[in-house]
């Protein structure tokens, strides 16, 4: 099994007619994802290489049965796009767009929680999600992920996620689902949401978690692991030597007021019983060790 998305997921791409949306939408379809529709109010009735374009997500859902959306809309339009997707009736929204203001993220996170509690938002500013061999939504290179299992991956960083997928593939280890939750201050889906889903998924036997500096999401994940996880977890946290007060590329990756350091996060994860690598390669080796003993 996989979490959140699988071979039955039908995806509508908001922004399919833009250059990024088109490029990745077609790549996702070539991977095998059911890319059933795109939206653009000005181009309804047209198509992108056979993928029909609708005026709105609601139209796409009604006509194609889409149950997920992938957002490639530029940052100024993301707040409306997320709301449109939720109102349109999809259950899962992956927002790839980076550069979304934090106030917009905080607003639509709480708006969904209150008015659309069954809708799961992933991102913004994330690489997306891949259940290898079944469904790939977003910008992850599908061929670096080995289908099957037993490992589930959850990560705040794009390239480090690819690195993890690739290292596991090189070691012949498969992945059930790999979720990139993104590096922004208010991610729609948290580490805990993914850990909980992996814990409940019978095919996932171990979880790899990749964190970075800033906020307290890793510490909260550690508390969850300690209290609720029976499956082994291997971790890596980037930014051990990041200076305080500087945003390291991601809007959420900042050590401020002495909080959010990698050292504190690694300590919390170790204390929770997780194995913690000092670099991505070491974390991959720790995971290989875990898998060998399963």
Partner 1 sequence: MDLYEYQGKQFFARFGIPVSAGDVARTPDEAVAIGERVGYPVVVKAQVQVGGRGKAGGIKLANDATEVRTHATNILGMDIKGHTVHIVWVERASDIAEEYYASFTLDRSAKKHLGMLSAQGGVEIEAVAEKDPDAIAKIWIDPVEGLTEAAARSWVGAAKLNPAAVDGTVDILQKLYRAYTEGDADLVEINPLILKPTGEVHALDAKVTLDGNSTFRHGDYEQYDETQVRDEREKQAHAKGLQYVGLEGSVGVIANGAGLAMSTVDIVNQVGGKPANFLDIGGGSNATVMAGALEVINNDPNVRSIFINIFGGITKGEEVANGIVQALQNVQIDAPIVIRLDGTNAEQGREILQPHLSDKLQMAPDMISAARLAVQLAAR
Q: What are phi and psi of 129, to 5 degrees?
A: -140, 140
List 11, 160, 221, 266, residue binding partner 1 (CB under 8 A) = 160
Q: Which stretch binds partner 1 (CB under 8 A): 60-68, 87-95, 141-149, 197-205?
A: 141-149
Q: Cβ closer to partner 1: 64 or 155?
A: 155
DSSP for 179-192, written as a single string: EE--SSSS-SS-HH
287 near partner 1 (CB under 8 A): no
Burial class (CB in 10 A: 0-12, 13-18, 19+), 58: middle
What SS3 class is residue 145? coil
Give the CA-trace dihedral at 106, 95, 80, 37, to 10 degrees: -160
Restricted to residues 170-229, the positions that interact with partner 1 (CB under 8 A) are 183, 185-186, 210, 212-217, 220
Q: Is 100 in the site for partner 1 (CB under 8 A)?
A: yes
Residue 270 within binding range of partner 1, rule CB under 8 A: no
> In this complex, which beta carbon is closest to partner 1, that of residue 148 or of residue 249?
249
Q: Is 250 a catalytic residue?
A: yes
Taking CB under 8 A as the criterion, which residues in 236-255 touch partner 1? 236, 238-243, 246-253
Interface with partner 1 (CB under 8 A), residue total 63
By CB under 8 A, tell whether 8 contacts partner 1.
no
Q: Is 50 exposed, middle or buried (0-12, 13-18, 19+ CB in 10 A)?
A: exposed
> Contact between 18 and partner 1 (CB under 8 A)?
no
C-alpha 175/C-alpha 233 separation (Å) is: 14
Strand-pairing partners, residue 150, are 174
The neighbouring-strand residues paired with 53 are: 38
Of 9, 42, 4, 287, which is closest to residue 151 (Cα–Cα)? 287
Residue span 39-78 as binding mask against partner 1, x where in contact by CB under 8 A, dash where not: ------------------------------------xx--
To the nearest whole angstrom, how small is the minimum distance from the Cβ of residue 163 to partner 1?
Answer: 5
- Please identify, using beta-carbon distances, which residue of 228 and 281 lies nearer to partner 1: 281
- Are 63 and 54 spatial neighbours (Cβ–Cβ below 8 Å)? yes
Question: Does residue 140 bind partner 1 (CB under 8 A)?
Answer: yes
Q: Establish if 106 lies at the interface with partner 1 (CB under 8 A).
A: yes
Residue in 22, 231, 250, 265 annotated catalytic: 250
Structure token digits, residue 102: 């934090």
Euclidean distance between CA atoms 155 and 270, whole angstroms: 17
**Looking at residue 75, what DSSP letter applies?**
G
With tokens 């999600």, the residue in question is 129
Binding site for partner 1 (CB under 8 A): 24, 27, 75-76, 99-103, 106-107, 109-111, 114, 139-141, 143-144, 155-163, 166, 183, 185-186, 210, 212-217, 220, 236, 238-243, 246-253, 257-258, 262, 278-281
Question: What residues are labeled active site?
Answer: 250
């Amino acid at each position: 099994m996989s979490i959140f998305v699988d071979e039955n997921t039908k995806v509508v791409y908001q922004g399919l007619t833009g250059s990024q949306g088109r490029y990745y939408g077609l790549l996702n379809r070539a991977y095998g994802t059911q890319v059933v529709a795109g939206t653009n109010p000005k181009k309804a009735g047209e198509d992108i290489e056979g993928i029909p374009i609708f005026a709105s997500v609601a139209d796409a859902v009604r006509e194609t049965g889409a149950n997920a959306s992938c957002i490639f809309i530029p940052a100024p339009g993301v707040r409306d796009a997320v709301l449109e997707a939720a109102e349109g009736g999809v259950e899962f929204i992956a927002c790839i767009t980076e550069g979304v203001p934090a106030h917009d993220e905080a607003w639509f996170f709480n708006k969904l929680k209150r008015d659309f509690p069954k809708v799961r938002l992933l991102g913004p500013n994330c690489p997306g999600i891949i259940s290898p061999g079944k469904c790939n939504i977003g910008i992850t290179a599908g061929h670096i992920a080995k289908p099957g299992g037993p490992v589930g991956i959850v990560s705040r960083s794009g390239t480090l996620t690819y690195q993890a997928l690739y290292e596991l593939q090189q070691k012949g280890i498969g992945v059930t689902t790999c979720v990139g939750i993104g590096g922004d201050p208010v991610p729609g889906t948290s580490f805990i949401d993914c850990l909980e889903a992996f814990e409940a998924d019978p095919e996932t036997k171990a979880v790899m978690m990749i964190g970075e500096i800033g906020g307290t999401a890793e510490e909260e994940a550690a508390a969850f692991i300690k209290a609720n996880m029976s499956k082994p977890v291997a971790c890596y946290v980037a930014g051990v030597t990041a200076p305080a007060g500087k945003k390291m590329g991601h809007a959420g990756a900042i050590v401020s007021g002495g909080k959010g350091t990698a050292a504190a996060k690694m300590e919390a994860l170790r204390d929770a019983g997780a194995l913690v690598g000092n670099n991505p390669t070491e974390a991959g080796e720790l995971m290989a060790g875990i898998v060998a003993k399963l």
